[in-house]
Structure 1
């Protein structure tokens, strides 16, 4: 998966926006995708290898990393780093991105979350 495919997939999800909120704090161009103004994916456009940082909820990153070379623990608890050009297919990467998106939606207040009811099973 390349950056254009990543961007296209993320923006295909309901109410997703993209921004560069860290430009004043970081020398890197960190592209962030949000739903309801909450981050679900970050990627450093200047990194040598294309990777995304995703919310992973209760998943054990250590267990995932034993199985997938593409997975590493992120510095932030509850997040993981997923390298896009290692041993995961594009379909599997999209499934992890969608899980991250769902993690954010599930944490929203019910009155906001209700508008995503039809989007929950999309994957």
Structure 2
């Protein structure tokens, strides 16, 4: 996966927007659904990206995949940093982006979820 594939995949999801919202981190590209972040990456390096994870399986996944690390800026209980080093197949990376997106959508209000369904 390269940064353009990552970007296009994220933008292909319903209701997703992209922005660079952190003035002190001008290289961090963030993808949100209905204003809630589900992934972010450094656009200059694309050496990793952050995803939301299920708390019940996050530790097991980190043991299974060396490239899945605790994130430097987010809650380690809910987020992971995925190192883009080729050790994890694109198929799995896309699945993890799907899970991150679904976890965020699940926390949206009923009204927001209904709005997404009608996009």
Query: TM class, shorter-chain normalised?
Result: 0.7 to 0.9
Gaps of 5+ in 1: 119-123
Task: Identify the range of structure 1 (5-14 vs 59-68) with the bigger mean alpha-carbon deviation.
Answer: 59-68
Residue number in structure 2 paired with 1:73: 70
Q: Structure 1 CA distance, aligned partners of 2:7 and 2:56?
A: 24
Instruction: Provide TM-score, normalisation by structure 2.
Output: 0.86
User: Which whole-Å CA distance do the structure 2 matches of 1:85 and 1:111 have between them?
Assistant: 39
Aligned CA-pair RMSD: 2.0
Q: Give the CA deviation at 1:50.
A: 1.8
Pairing 1:1-123 to 2, within 5 Å after superposition: 1-22=1-22, 24-26=23-25, 28-47=26-45, 50-75=47-72, 76-77=74-75, 78-116=78-116
Give the Å deviation of 1:117.
5.2
Aligned residues: 116
- Per the normalisation by structure 1, the TM-score is 0.83
User: How far does residue 62 in structure 1 lie from its aligned partner after superposition?
Assistant: 2.8
Deviates more, 1:13-22 or 1:107-116: 107-116
